Amino acid sequence: MFTGLGDERVYEYCRGKGIPIMLEIPFSTRIAELYSKGIPFVEEMPGWKESLKQVFEEAKRAAGK
């Protein structure tokens, strides 16, 4: 089942603690290249910006803010 957070232990831990995984950023050579240059990948891969905004809003709601 694991896709990008390391190995299955991360998923097992989250399940055991009731921690939702709200978004996964898969391994990507392009993301790694941008990161190595100090460039936020959302600047070059704009489709991610909306996903991250949605996660932020969902986290705020979950925190009651």
Walk along the chain (65 residues) and give the pLDDT tens digit of each residue: 445 556 788 889 999 999 988 888 888 899 999 999 999 999 999 889 999 999 999 999 988 87
Q: How far apart are CA 27 and CA 40, in angstroms?
A: 15
**Overall number of domains in the chain:** 1
3: in domain: no
Residues of the domain holding 12: 8-62
Whether the CB-CB separation of 24 and 18 falls below 8 Å is answered with no
Q: What are phi and psi of 47, to 5 degrees?
A: -60, -25
pTM of the model: 0.63
Asked if residues 11 and 5 have their Cβ atoms less than 8 Å apart, the reply is yes
b/e per residue, 35-45, with b = 16+ CB within 10 A? Answer: eeeeeebbeee
Q: Residue 2 corresponds to which tokens in the numbers above? A: 């694991």
